[in-house]
A and B are shown apart, each in its own frame.
Chain A
Amino acid sequence: MSVHKPEPVSIFDKRIVGPALVSSLKKLNPIELWRNPVMLCVEIASVITLVTFILSLTGTNKEPAWFTGQVSVWLWLTVIFANFSEALAEGRGKARAASLRSSRTSVTAKLLSKPEFNAAFTSVGASQLRKGDLILVGANEIIAGDGDVIAGAALVNEAAVTGESAPVVRESGGDRSAVTGGTTVIANSIIVRITANPGETFLDRMIGLIEGAKRRKTPNEIALEVLLIALTLVFLLVCINISPLSIYSVKAAGQGTPVSLTVLTALFVCLAPTTIAALLPAIGIAGMDRLFQKNVIALSGRAIEAAGDVNVLLLDKTGTITHGNREAVAFVPVSGHTEQDVAEAALMASLADETPEGRSVVALAREKFGLKSATLPADAEVIEFSAETRLSGINAGRDQFRKGAADSTIAFVQKNGCINIPANLSDAVDTIARDGATPLVVCNGCNIIGVINLKDIVKAGIQERFLQLRSMGIKTVMITGDNPLTAAAIAAEAQVDDFLAQAKPEDKLRLIKENQEAGFMVAMTGDGTNDAPALAQADVAVAMNTGTQPAREAANIIDLDSNPTKLLDIVEVGKQILMTRGNLTTFSISNDVAKYFAIIPAMMLSVYPQLGVLNIMHLATPLSAILSAVIFNAIIIPLLVPLALKGTKFRPMPAEKLLIHNLLIYGLGGIVAPFIGIKGIDMVVGMFV
């Protein structure tokens, strides 16, 4: 299966950087900046310094024009860099959205009057389709809108949405009835009932999300913004406070000049948490984009962040923990029969069984027991698996080969009039079940021959992933329809923390509710319609793209690859977004220490020369010190753009260790880095001044 992932776009791709530069100038519009109050303050500060620059050109302001001019330029650049980082993140999304939109070109649909293949139809544009309309889609036609197949079955190429070239079957009824607008039918015809109005389709929503057009700030983002705004306000007051204090100090000391407006403005911008405020929008957008690179579409930023908080993960056993299909690995004879007997009977009972399990029985019997030539007898009557008998097999002549669960087979044998059940049967069955395998009992007529050992193969490497999850404090719960014994054995092998055996939809729902009541955040993956209630209840609900429409509607994250272990990636990205924000906030605020040491002695030096002691970086002159701090504050933004877009690296480890680790890097680093940076810039500035 070849999965075509969206082409990874380099961070500074030419096609994106160009438009982003233009867009970052457009975003200087104060109305646009309103969404980012901290940067709006910086823009106002830039305007103020522009005025002081003009005044120093005219001579009204005594400060040298090269200084006020430079400060003004770097403050403007601070705003532009912030806009640029956001535009860059959006640009990456837009480039992807554009490729999606191309698949949404004008499509005409055959609108049916009634749900019959030969009913009369009228051709209408896709934009005219409404919920509930019925359309007919034939081979090589594009499906005009999202909907459910209500009649027929067809092979559909969904590459437009999933990037996967292998076509998939979509058929009425069951769990594979959902079709997505923009995908193409390759063979056969289907009748589709439209389930979304134009503009609200899956593709539309995806495009909107990727472009960032519908991006709403998450609660967490807002809470952080509250902190940033409050800090900005405090620093504004600190700077305003310095003015009268310095006026008083000049009078008291009898020397020097009060701090100028340019310097105060510069100090304010340096102190305000501009680094994090500038990168905040980009972090969220980039997070969604990173998920999209993994072929996962989050329907809201909130869902991704919630994923970072998940404590309990409900995983379907089949397909997630184990390979979808069980395989026959052994034949166990019961009293009076040989292994060969079991192999033969099992083979006969399975020859007509086209399920993967059935085929694995046939393969085992043929390869290990020399039964290569055995074929279905001509007179064989195939007994399909039915919900009532829960058995399958064939009748051929006098033979009645059956295989099924122990209780069903015993019931069958007893119905045939045999009360004599081999004594060691239950032992054999239990031994297999205790190992987490599935015992299938084989009989012929009223004669029980033996047991097939059908084993669930746990995916390689799954244990390590669960171990990672556990170290992050996430509990994994396996959900399976198996009996408790089987479930326990597989749970032990896969090393999940808990399991829910013989799970019915209402059991899943109850399990989620119980965990939520206990205060946990629950994530689950699902694809079937019967998963929909549980998905709707879960905090993070990942629907497989191959899933049914109800499942997709109920979910808040869609996995285009339909690979349930994706949840681990989603959790990781969710955590990365929060961590990147937290780390950059700490970094941004830690930077202020060095900036104080650069600016405070510089601005008060004329009044109190003693404060020169605080100039521990030995910056050349007061003006170069202030300028260096401003320049550092501006260029740190583009330097951190790659980090904001990629996210800080996530290592699964206990919370306390992780905190110390990040505090050392971003807290301590945030204190040290600007000392080095400002000193370096000052040396360069010193060459020109």
Chain B
Amino acid sequence: MEKLEWLQTALFFLVLLATVKPLGGFMARLFQGERTLLSPVLGPVERLIYRVCGVSQEDEMDWKRYAWSMILFNVVLFISLFGILMTQHLLPLNPQKVPAFTWQLALNTAISFVTNTNWQAYVGEQAASYFTQMVGLTVHNFVSAATGISVAIAVIRGFARRRTSQIGNFWVDMTRCTLYVLVPISLIAALLLVSQGAIQNFSPYKTVPLVQAITYDTPKKDAQGNSLKDAKGNPVTESVTAKEVTIPMGPVASQEAIKELGTNGGGFFNANSAHPFENPTPFSHLLEILLILLIPGALTHTFGVMVGNSRQGWAILGVMLFLLIGSFAVLQWAETAGNPLVAKLGVSGVNMEGKELRFGLAGTNLFEVATTGTSCGAVAAMHDSLTPIGGMIPLSLILLGEIVFGGVGSGLYTMLAFAIIAVFVSGLMIGRTPEYLGKKIEVREMWMSIVTVLIAGVTVLIVTAVAMITPSAVASMANPGAHGLSEVLYAFASMANNNGSAFAGLNANVNFYNLWGSLAMMLGRYVPAVAMLAMAGSLAEKKYVPPSLGTLPTDKVPFALWLTLVILIVGALTFFPALSLGPIVEHLTMLGGN
């Protein structure tokens, strides 16, 4: 790394850490119903919403009611988005006259946005109208993020409360989260993005002549849009000459802000955050990375404050930071080392294929670990073009279960599930019934955390296995061999863990990926959410066990290290074979000179 890159990276983490305490503390006060800085302004709006919706702030729910409210709300959201996608050709704000989605793609897309995955099997600027982008997708970016945060807050209450079955009111949490956290920060962020040059308009797409006509090769596709391959399995290409170019327009900045803030990641354009209208400058780039990590980072402090020991939150944040920085270091190393095969061709230096020069190597790598460590899934580079080991980093971060900061809310509660498993084993090792934050960990907690931790991995294992023996699924790969396997593994890892980024190179808009992907996204989102709410219900009813010398402190370095080990071991044991047949063999092949 160059000196300035070091400086930029260090500065970035300092700024990130500086936000944790103020925002985390703010959210703790907010969700505990205390007065906040914004109460004088937003309080009346909040109360008006409750009056209109008939919600009572005092009406607390047990875990079952909370979970049902969450699911019911998500079903309604799904139906509304599915409806918009299927009828967008009839709706206003469609200057490009784009047609409706197919039902399979609409199903996949609706589930994708409701589950905070934002897997995009469509091309934003070609398939979605402005109405769809704003009323459909952007709204879902807000509410799916708020859903995740609300569940996390309810889970925290489970730890914090004693001898009660009540874990809060879902509607109140949703309202507060959206009104006090997501909307104000998005507003400021959108304005900052516009100041950098992100666009915000309803204009039709502009067609401009190219300064110089370009001739290029493009993969030949059949009628279904599948890449054609020759007898050897290599893609067939055709030559095309372009004289003019169409520049898509749209209300980009408003969607961009919440896309990062809510760890949604569904880009307005297909190129996502690599597109200059979404992410114009190095400053906007860093701002977007900050937005991605902002809420998941701050929630750890919210957690610490609400359970009455902020060190607990810092310990969790420490584990997340350690994994994030570690991943960044490996990615940086792999991409700096570059590809020896390319070096042989006389092009020495770092691997810049698929990266934007304006973000630089370190900037790009930072974005990629942030977006895959959280369940954001926005991309600022082509993951497909990373070196094999470099590409394994985003993939591994996703496969770990989206806990390296993780999705807004979901990252924290999945991390807490890991913490419970870590506490359980370490508790046994010191000869005590395990306890975490003063709550005894018993059979029910074990079930719920294991289900939470493993559901995504189990889904990935099953679905990739099915994909590998389904000819239509194999046909979607752009590259055969180990790299193709990485592409499929990445796709399902991304969907099952609600990340939504794509390795690219895989044509995902086919029934197989649309439908199996929908299932994976739903399992990966709702099974952990409901399991953790169930655990919150059971934890809230337990009494508090005060710590003694015999209690393992969970707010100190040894436990944090142990937790990190547990996370890595669970991930490695689950995916070592699959990874060894994908990226690892690719890496070895590359080193071998093939």
Name A's B-contacting residues (CB within 8 A): 219-220, 222-224, 226-227, 230, 233-235, 237-238, 240-249, 252-253, 271, 305-306, 308-309, 311, 470-475, 517-520, 574-579, 581-583, 585-586, 589-590, 592-593, 596, 600, 604, 608, 610-611, 613-614, 650, 654-656, 658-660, 662-663, 666-667
User: Nearest chain-A residue to B458 (Cβ)?
Assistant: A237
From A219, A655, A660, B443 is in contact (CB under 8 Å) with A219
Question: CA A242 – CA B464 in complex, angstroms?
Answer: 10
* Complex Cα–Cα for A593 and B541 (A): 39
Partner of B465, one of A233, A234, A244: A244
How many Å lie between the Cα of A577 and that of B432 in the bound state?
Answer: 10
- Report Cα–Cα, A475/B551, bound state, in Å: 13
**Interface presence of B421 (CB below 8 A):** yes
Which 3 residue pairs of A and B lie closest in terms of their CB atoms, listed nearest first?
A: A582-B428, A473-B550, A575-B431
A-B contact pairs, 5 of them (CB 8 A): A238-B577, A242-B578, A252-B485, A308-B431, A659-B426
Contacts of A234 in B (CB 8 A): 454, 457-458, 461, 573-574
Interface of B is mostly: helix
Q: Is the CB of A600 within 8 A of B546?
A: no
Q: A227-B421, A473-B550, A613-B588 are in contact. Are A592 and B431 (CB under 8 A)?
A: no
Please, how many angstroms separate the alpha-carbon atoms of A247 and B469 in the complex?
8
Q: Are B580 and A614 in contact (CB under 8 A)?
A: yes
* Known contacts A226-B446, A249-B482, A655-B432, A582 near B427 by CB under 8 Å: yes
Knowing A226-B446, A578-B428 are in contact, say whether A305-B433 is a contact too (CB < 8 A).
Answer: yes
A residues near B438, Cβ cutoff 8 Å = 519
Tell whether A241 pairs with B578 under 8 Å between CB atoms, given A234-B454, A308-B433, A608-B588. Answer: yes
Known contacts A237-B462, A655-B553: A475-B548 contact under CB 8 Å: yes
**Do A241 and B577 touch (CB < 8 A)?**
yes
Closest-CB distance, A103 to chain B (whole angstroms): 35
CA distance A604 to B569 in the complex (A): 22
Contacts of B549 in A (CB 8 A): 470-473, 654-655
Q: For B464, what are the chain A residues with a Cβ–Cβ distance below 8 Å?
A: 241, 244-245
Is B443 within 8 A of A610, CB to CB? no
A576 touches B465 (CB 8 A): no
How far is it, in angstroms, between the C-alpha of A186 and the C-alpha of B380 when the chains are bound? 92
A222 & B580 in contact (Cβ 8 Å cutoff)? no
Give 16 A-B pairs besides A245-B468, A249-B485, A582-B430 with Cβ atoms closer than 8 angstroms.
A224-B424, A226-B450, A234-B573, A234-B574, A252-B484, A253-B482, A519-B543, A589-B569, A600-B580, A608-B581, A608-B585, A614-B580, A614-B584, A655-B430, A659-B562, A663-B562
Contacts of B219 in A (CB 8 A): none
The answer to whether A240 and B465 touch (CB under 8 A), given A252-B485, A474-B550, is yes
Q: Say yes or no: A659 contacts B429, CB within 8 Å.
A: yes
How many angstroms from the CA of A589 to the CA of B565 in the assembled complex?
12
Q: Which of A238, A241, A586, A660 contacts B425 (CB 8 A)?
A: A586
Chain B residues within an 8 Å CB radius of A667: 565
- Contact of B432 with A238 in the complex, beta carbons under 8 Å: no
Scoring B residues 429 to 443 as 1 if CB is less than 8 Å from chain A, else 0, what string do you get? 111110000100111
> In the complex, are the beta carbons of B465 and A241 less than 8 A apart?
yes
Interface residue B447 (Cβ < 8 Å from any Cβ of A): yes
- Contact at A611–B588, with CB atoms within 8 Å? yes
B428: contacting residue among A245, A473, A585, A650, CB under 8 A: A585
Q: How far is the CA of A13 from the CA of B332 in the complex (A)?
A: 60
Interface range on chain B (Cβ under 8 Å from partner): 35 or more
Q: Which residue of B lies closest to A647 (CB)?
A: B431
Bound complex: CA of A234 vs CA of B458, how far in Å? 7
Contact residues of B between 537 and 594, Cβ < 8 Å to A: 543-546, 548-553, 556, 558-559, 562, 565, 569, 572-574, 576-578, 580-581, 584-585, 588-589, 591-592
In the complex, A475→B548 CA distance in Å?
9
A350 shortest CB reach to chain B, Å: 46
Chain A contacts of B450 at CB under 8 A? 226-227, 230
- Residue B360, interface by CB 8 Å: no
Q: How many angstroms between the C-alpha atoms of A578 and B573 in the bound complex? A: 24
How far does the alpha carbon of A321 sit from the alpha carbon of B509 in the complex, in Å?
A: 77
Instruction: Name which of A309, A518, A596, A662 has the most chain B CB atoms within 10 A of its CB.
Output: A309
Q: From residue 443 to 474 of chain B, which have CB atoms closer than 8 A to chain A?
A: 443, 445-447, 450, 454, 457-458, 461-462, 464-466, 468-469, 474
Nearest Cβ distance between residue B548 and chain A, in whole angstroms?
4
B461 in contact with A592 (CB, 8 Å)? no
CB-nearest residue of chain A relative to B550? A473
In the assembled complex, how far is the CB of residue B71 from the closest CB belonging to chain A, in whole angstroms?
A: 24
B576, A596: Cβ atoms closer than 8 Å: yes
Q: Which of A237, A244, A249 contacts B469 (CB 8 A)?
A: A244
User: How far is B544's CA from A611's CA once the two chains are assembled, in angstroms?
Assistant: 51
A245-B465, A585-B425 as given contacts; A252 in contact with B432, CB under 8 Å: no
Please state if A574 and B573 are interface contacts (CB–CB under 8 Å): no
> Per a CB cutoff under 8 Å, which of A219, A241, A604 touches B462?
A241
A245-B580 Cα distance, complex, nearest whole Å: 11
Nearest-Cβ distance from residue A578 to partner chain B, whole angstroms: 5
Cα of A226 to Cα of B577 in the assembled complex, Å: 24
When distances are taken between beta carbons in the complex, the residues of chain A under 8 Å from B469 are: 244, 247-248
In the complex, what residues of A have CB within 8 A of residue B33's CB?
A: none
**CB contact between A659 and one of B430, B442, B458, B577 (< 8 Å): that residue:** B430
Q: Is B480 an interface residue (CB 8 A)?
A: yes
- Report A604 CB to chain B, min CB distance, Å: 7
Q: Judge whether B441 and A223 touch: CB under 8 Å.
A: yes
Question: Does the CB pair A271–B573 fall under 8 Å?
Answer: yes
CB nearest neighbor in B for A470 = B549
* Contact A519:B546 (CB < 8 A) given known A253-B481, A614-B580: yes
Cα–Cα, bound, A681→B572 (Å): 25
A472 to B430 Cα, complex, angstroms: 10
Q: Please name all residues of chain A whose beta carbon is closer than 8 Å to the beta carbon of B432 when the two chains form the complex.
A: 308-309, 575, 578, 655
Partner of A579, one of B429, B445, B474, B588: B429
* Residues on the A chain within 8 Å of B484, using CB: 252
Q: A654 to chain B: which residues have CB within 8 Å?
A: 549-550
Instruction: Check A222 against B443 for contact (C-beta < 8 Å).
Output: yes
CA distance A593 to B576 in the complex (A): 10
* Nearest CB in chain A: distance from B160 CB, A: 14
A471 to B431, CA, bound (A): 14
**Are A219 and B465 in contact (CB-based, < 8 A)?**
no
> Which A residues are CB-close (under 8 A) to B424?
223-224, 227
Most chain B beta-carbon neighbours within 10 Å: one of A583, A656, A667: A656
